[in-house]
Amino acid sequence: MKHFIFCLLLAFLATATFSKILCASTRIYGFIFDAGIFIISATTAHILITIARHFMPKKNIQDLDKKAVFITGCDSGFGHMCAKRLDALGVTVYAGCLFPEGAGAAQLKAAASSRLHIVPLDVTRDEDVRKAVEYVKQTIGDKKFWCVLNNAGILSDLLLEHNSMDAVRKVMEVNALGTVSVTQSFLPLLGDESGRVVCVVSIFGRVAIPFCVPYCMSKHAALAYVQGLRRELQLTSSGVTVHGIEPSVYRTPLSDSEIRIAQIKKQLAGSPEDIQKKVNELYIEKYKLFYRRAVKFTSNPNENEVVDCMIDAAIGSTPKPCYRPNVRCLVEGWLLKWIPTAVVDWALTTAARILASDLLDTRS
């Protein structure tokens, strides 16, 4: 952080000096001119330093063989990949799996060393979380419990009117309350001197998009938890640091259309009759086409970008408070800060209308 602030100051001074020289020929002086130079210089300096840090090589902390990390959501996707990579680096990994006897857990067992533990875990069940904490206490030995990494998440991507309250509640329980439950339960193991809390949230925790509102709600809550916990731990002078990772859309099992349609059908089976009438077989077939189209145009196939961030946040020597895996995510974050809400509304609804035109026709 100190190095970042120092580089930011140098970049600001350099940009301000360059701007002054560039504008020296103008005759606009005084407070307005200086304020404009300050804003432009500060913004430019921050952008340059952030992009530079994104591409700088990462270093890990020492004594990884003496560290232990707990990861949720390791059945597939980011959590699965992260567990394998941390194990390969010598870290003792506790991989929380919703299906401990499933294919994902079996693959982890086959690919990893004996340091990796498969831990049964449904983050919405307090008893599962309590048993996971006890299991770590009993098996960690002389290792230092270093990091709890919250990765478990589910998707809800129908229109709001097609989501039952049970479906909305489930997404909130997994993505937001599950993160809180796991973190609060493992915080005592981290202690006060050192350690890390890492949460995979989403860029959609900063903006709500059509067809994905419950998911965005849950990630917004999780993001607020990350920011609030980080500041409270700083307030109490704790040595534990908190880090959020904000990816956009990646081609994980969450974005697989066949898996997603199966999940939607399961969700609808327990929904009220009026919702089931609206979301009929024709609607679902149109939805599948829309979903494939949306994934094709918006998703990123390079899952390792996110896993790299997870690794750096968990064991990097200079972790960042907030990670956005690529330049696109960085730009999206800046745009959401500065573009007027009306413009964001127009852009997102227009894009959704184009991608979901057939689906919206079915609805009408």
Among all residues, which ones are annotated catalytic? 215
284's CB contacts (< 8 A; 6+ apart) are 261, 264, 265
Residues 88 and 64: beta-carbon distance below 8 Å:
no
Beta bridge partners of 250: 300
Sign of torsion, CA 322 326 327 328?
Answer: negative
Residues 190 and 140: beta-carbon distance below 8 Å:
no
Residues 214 and 295: beta-carbon distance below 8 Å:
no
What is the Cβ-side half-sphere exposure of residue 198, based on CA atoms within 13 angstroms?
30
Beta bridge partners of 323: 245
CA 100 to chain centre: 23
**Closest of 272, 342, 298, 287 to residue 159, by C-alpha:** 287
Distance CA 114, CA 90 (A): 11
Residue keyed to tokens 């120092």: 6
Residues 66 and 143: beta-carbon distance below 8 Å:
yes
